[in-house]
Amino acid sequence: MEYVQERVTTLHALTDHRPDAPTGRAAVVVPMTEREYGTLAAERVLTALETVAPARVIVPLRAPAERVAPFVRWLDGFDVDVETLWCGGPRLSDLLRDHGLDGSRGKGRDVWLGLGRALGSEYVVVHDADTKTYSPAFVDRLLFPLARGHEFSKGYYARVEDGSLYGRLFRLFFRPLVRAIADDAEGDEEVVAYLDAFRYALAGEFAATSDLVSRLRLQRGWGLEVGTLGEAFEHAGFADSAQVDLGRYEHDHRSVDGPTGLADMSRAVGAATLRAVENAGVSVAYDTLASRYREAAADLIRGYETDAAFNGLAFDREDERAQVETYADALAPPGPDTRLPAWRDAPISPADVAEAASTDIADVTDSATAAPAAERATAEDVRRRRNGHRTPEDTAPDTAPGDET
């Protein structure tokens, strides 16, 4: 346990205290995909939000048409004001295309749509729905520094699960990449110091004032988290940023390889990181970046190995080194800027989004004249679990794949 301050205000969970925070003036954005339907992790998050009582909960949903109606019915089973925002409906897709906002779809685009709808609240909180250790205190902790005058706050936590160190993309890619950039950067290096100040820069949990949210340009996909940090540096800087300890945090892991693995994610994270520093006026020496990254990663691996041994954790040095070599392939100039516009500059309004999405949902809901028995059972399971009853799913493994950053 420690209480060291970084250049951004750093709030530590030194006790189990749940600080007072303006939850009733906040909207909570919880992006979901069809894999979250009926899972224990998502149910835990939504049940906890019932006790938080935010002004609104907005769920940007990425799912095929046939899954939308049962998903909406499931969300309606919770005692919280949920606005489901189907991100793939035909009218919403047409609206985005007609205004030049179509393109690749991913978590970042979904969150961007949700943030637009959240702007009616004073504060906005964003977090994922696959957290196995979710606590309602997370929302209070993220909001607390905003009530004290900060504009942006980000969560951090240690990824220690199953007797091993996780958080591999952060530990083995992002952190050494930032150090490699700093070793030979030219220009205003404050942005590099800002990125390095966050203890878990790839955490998906953050909160911000609505004014700041309206200024953010978001990455469309996996570069969302670090891209948001780059925008926060521009609009909030060190003085108005904070990071808060969220304590114990577990969610599912991704493999390194495969079409949605950490190797693919590293390319998006790398591009977002390099774009953030270049946009802030830093010149990156790309000809030596890979070698400097490998050196920085090797130094960190030695530290991780010692730390793991100190805590009696398993550690596979060769596997960590192999991951570094895989991630090194992601080091290249960021390419075209495909970020979505800040909402204050967008050619559409959040009301336009709401109208299109609600009509899309109404169409698919009306076409599903009656919920199949299995879907009705899922809604009943929500109510039964809340009353302390166990269901077959309570003992079933949660096998839905999750982010591991």
CATH no. for residue 58?
3.90.550.10
Name the token pair of 313. 């954790």
Q: Which phi and psi angles does 84 have, rounded to 5°?
A: -85, 130
Question: What is the spatial distance between Cα 204 and Cα 221, in angstroms, rounded to a whole number?
Answer: 12
pLDDT-derived band at 221, boundaries 50, 70, 90:
confident
In a domain, 385, yes or no: yes
Asked if residue 341 has pLDDT above 80, the reply is yes
What distance in Å separates the CA atoms of residue 405 and residue 12, rounded to the nearest whole number?
21
- What's the Cα-to-Cα distance from 295 to each of 278, 284, 289, 328, 383, rounded to whole Å? 22, 17, 10, 11, 54
Using pLDDT thresholds of 50, 70 and 90, give the confidence band for residue 158: confident
d(CA 155, CA 152): 10
Q: Is the pLDDT of residue 136 over 60?
A: yes
Domain annotation covers residue 1: no
If pLDDT is split at 50, 70 and 90, which confidence band does 1 have? low
Percent with pLDDT over 70 in the chain: 88
Residue 401 lies in a domain: no
Q: What is the pLDDT of the chain when averaged over all its residues?
A: 89
In a domain, 405, yes or no: no
Does residue 8 contact residue 194 with C-beta atoms inside 8 Å? Answer: yes
Q: What is the predicted pLDDT for the residue at 246?
A: 93
* Across 32-46, 248-262, 269-283, 352-366, least confident range: 248-262
Give the C-alpha separation, 386 to 378, whole Å: 13
Q: Which residues form the domain of 222?
A: 9-395
In a domain, 269, yes or no: yes
Note whether residue 403 is domain-resident.
Answer: no
Q: Return the closest-CA partner of residue 36 out of 14, 60, 57.
A: 60
Taking the C-alpha atoms of residue 279 and residue 191, their distance in angstroms, rounded to an integer, is 9
**Residue 186 forms part of a structural domain:** yes
* Domain assignment of residue 298, yes or no: yes
pLDDT greater at residue 254 or residue 154: 154
Total of domains in the chain? 1
Question: What are the helix and strand counts (H, E) for the chain?
Answer: 15, 11
pLDDT of 389: 44
